[in-house]
Amino acid sequence: MREIDIPCSECGTELAERVVFTADLPVETGWRGSVRVAECPSCGARYYPRQTVAQLAGRSSGTRPRGEG
């Protein structure tokens, strides 16, 4: 059950799942800790699974994503 099943849109290489700290990401977020990302081992492109995006969007703010379910 993985969301990371898509190939890299840049070069088509299969993505690898990695865990990174939000402090290392070029985004501002209230989420502290680590999140899962999909990283291309070939060109280094990064992709963010929906769950990770939801975390970065502010899980502690109390807002819920629309259209869930």
For Zn ion, the binding residues (CB under 5 A) are: 8, 10-11, 13, 40, 42-43, 45
Q: Which residues are bridge partners to 18 per DSSP?
A: 37
**49/57 with CB nearer Zn ion:** 49
Provide the strand spans (E) within 14-69. Answer: 16-21, 34-39, 46-47
Please enumerate in sequence order all residues whose Cβ is within 8 A of that of 27, keeping only pairs 6 or more positions apart, or say none. 56
User: Shortest Cβ distance from residue 34 to Zn ion (Å)?
Assistant: 22
Between 30 and 44, name the residue whose CB sits nearer to Zn ion: 44
Q: How far is the CB of 17 from Zn ion (least distance, A)?
A: 14
